[in-house]
């Protein structure tokens, strides 16, 4: 039987051989760094996806809590289609990366990234950060070595601490007694199972973790379920009859039918809700990828939550001036202020193009937090032009990276930023 709709529309590799796609060596690379560490060289695992052209523009994805390198599989197809090479790195204690003390987490994550860039011979790269990836990205930009250039930074659902945003979701974790903090990863996972059904905007900043309990979450959504009709909800498999092919679980359909169903359902969505995932990967891929991620361990989530909440050694984000007054309410003013000063020093010879993307239904960063950051970045510091601040209607915290209306223009922007470097 043919594996294509027609000769000009072949099925992507993930549809033809999902297992082989997930185990592609490109998604399972490692290197070492920190040779001067008391414990010897540290390991960092990472994935390279998208264009195989070594001269293609490079986009480094610095993911949020629970992020795993295999999430790159979900952006591989759209990055390939847009001629962009994607690199994403497992932070300490995630994937195969060596665990490090919490106090050193941000600094050593930066060193790990530099080691990966050196291994892949990358000198120029744009960055897309998601949620608390903003913490790590800001540190990297403030400590970028000579010889490396970052022309563009895209912030997806950037993290704003609860004391600035008014968010209460993660603040629950601060109630845990300190002897139990080493088990915070399990706590956070359990907390998500409780919070997950409450709102589409609630998530843990990475579809890799959020997707454990709901397939339709965030950027991992393949759009295989029909959109809910106005004023109602989409039918569930339990309420459907097996006689209706449209009601069959998408992973049970033949590959061609899986993609056809995605396209049919996606066409019913308004432009701001259209997705790209199912165009490139089948609906069962995420679950298989999660098995690999879970087997490697999700222990890093505890450290990530402590970092977000600035608890104990997690308060050491590295980019805050140690000699500055410790006014937490001015934390972002100091950090982003240092970046603005650095950008001004670089001048027009090497400008940093910054854009921000949120969802209007982001329950982790509510309107108060988004407005605080918009005022700081657009009005106070001028790091972001007003037209480069985006809020996508009806999108949640982890939805942004799965929406065509965001990812397509972002990838085009990465290509344009790289082109300006060559001028």
Quick one: CA dihedral 159, 162, 167, 172, positive or negative?
Answer: positive
What's the CA dihedral at 178, 182, 187, 188 to 10 degrees? Answer: 100
What was the pLDDT predicted at 363? 83
Helix axis angle, 285-296 to 72-81, nearest 10°? 130
What pLDDT score does 315 carry?
Answer: 86
Q: With beta carbons less than 8 A apart as the criterion, state whether 201 and 397 touch.
A: yes
pLDDT tens series, the chain, 423 aa: 334 445 678 999 999 999 999 999 999 999 999 987 777 799 999 999 999 999 999 999 999 887 899 999 999 999 999 999 999 999 999 999 999 999 999 999 999 999 999 999 999 999 999 999 999 999 999 999 999 999 999 999 999 998 899 877 544 444 333 433 343 444 344 334 333 333 333 333 443 333 322 222 233 343 434 444 444 444 343 333 344 555 677 778 999 999 999 999 999 999 999 999 999 999 888 888 888 988 998 788 888 888 888 888 888 899 876 666 678 899 999 999 999 999 988 776 668 999 999 999 998 899 999 999 999 999 999 999 999 999 999 999 889 999 999 999 999 999 999 999 887
Residue 276 to residue 225: CA distance in whole angstroms: 14
Domains, in order of start, for the chain: 13-422 (3.40.50.1820)
Cβ contact 357:390 at 8 Å:
yes
Given a contact cutoff of 8 angstroms between Cβ atoms, the answer to whether 295 and 146 are in contact is no
pTM of the model: 0.85
* pLDDT value for 423: 73
What pLDDT score was predicted for residue 37? 75
Between helix 300-309 and helix 105-119 the angle, nearest 10°, is 120
The C-alpha atoms of residue 391 and residue 113 are separated, in whole angstroms, by 29
Query: What pLDDT does residue 346 have?
Result: 78
Cα separation, 197 vs 210, whole angstroms? 11
Residues 226-254, buried b or exposed e (16+ Cβ, 10 A)? eeeeeeeeebeeeeeeeeeeeeeebbebe
Element containing residue 129 per DSSP (H, E): strand 126-130
- pLDDT of 361 reads 93
């Amino acid at each position: 039987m043919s594996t294509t709709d027609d000769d000009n529309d072949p099925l992507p590799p993930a549809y033809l051989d999902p297992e082989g796609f997930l185990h592609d060596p490109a998604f399972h690379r490692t290197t070492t760094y920190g040779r001067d560490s008391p414990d010897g060289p540290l390991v960092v695992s990472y994935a390279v996806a998208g264009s195989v052209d070594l001269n293609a523009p490079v986009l480094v994805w610095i993911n949020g809590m629970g992020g795993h390198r295999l999430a790159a599989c979900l952006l591989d197809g759209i990055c390939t289609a847009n001629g962009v090479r994607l690199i994403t790195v497992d932070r300490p204690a995630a994937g195969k990366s060596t665990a490090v003390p919490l106090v050193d987490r941000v600094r050593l994550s930066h060193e790990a990234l530099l080691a990966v860039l050196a291994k892949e011979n990358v000198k120029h790269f744009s960055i897309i950060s998601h949620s608390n990836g903003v913490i790590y990205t800001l540190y990297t930009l403030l400590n970028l070595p000579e010889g490396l250039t970052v022309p563009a930074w895209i912030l997806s659902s950037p993290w704003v601490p609860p004391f600035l945003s008014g968010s209460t979701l993660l603040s629950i974790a601060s109630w845990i007694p300190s002897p139990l903090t080493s088990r915070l990863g399990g706590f956070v996972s359990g907390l998500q199972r409780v919070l997950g059904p409450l709102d589409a905007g609630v998530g843990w900043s990475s579809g890799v973790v959020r997707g454990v309990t709901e397939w339709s979450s965030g950027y991992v959504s393949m759009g295989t379920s029909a959109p809910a009709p106005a004023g109602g909800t989409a039918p569930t498999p339990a309420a459907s009859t097996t006689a209706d092919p449209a009601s069959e679980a998408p992973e049970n359909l033949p590959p061609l039918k899986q993609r056809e169903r995605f396209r049919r359902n996606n066409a019913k969505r308004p432009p701001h809700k259209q997705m790209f995932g199912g165009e490139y990967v089948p609906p069962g891929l995420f679950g298989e990828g999660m098995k690999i991620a879970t087997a490697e361990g999700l222990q890093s989530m505890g450290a990530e939550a402590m970092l977000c909440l600035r608890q104990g050694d997690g308060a050491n984000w590295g980019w805050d001036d140690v000699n500055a007054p410790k006014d937490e309410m001015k934390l972002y003013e100091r950090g982003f202020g240092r970046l603005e000063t650095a950008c001004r020093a670089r001048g027009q010879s090497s400008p940093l193009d910054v854009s921000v993307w949120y969802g209007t239904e982001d329950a982790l960063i509510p309107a108060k937090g988004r407005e605080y950051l918009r005022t700081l970045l657009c009005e106070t510091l001028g790091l972001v032009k007003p037209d480069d601040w985006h809020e996508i209607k009806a999108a949640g915290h982890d939805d942004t990276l799965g929406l065509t209306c965001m990812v397509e223009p972002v990838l085009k922007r990465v290509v344009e930023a790289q082109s300006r470097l060559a001028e």
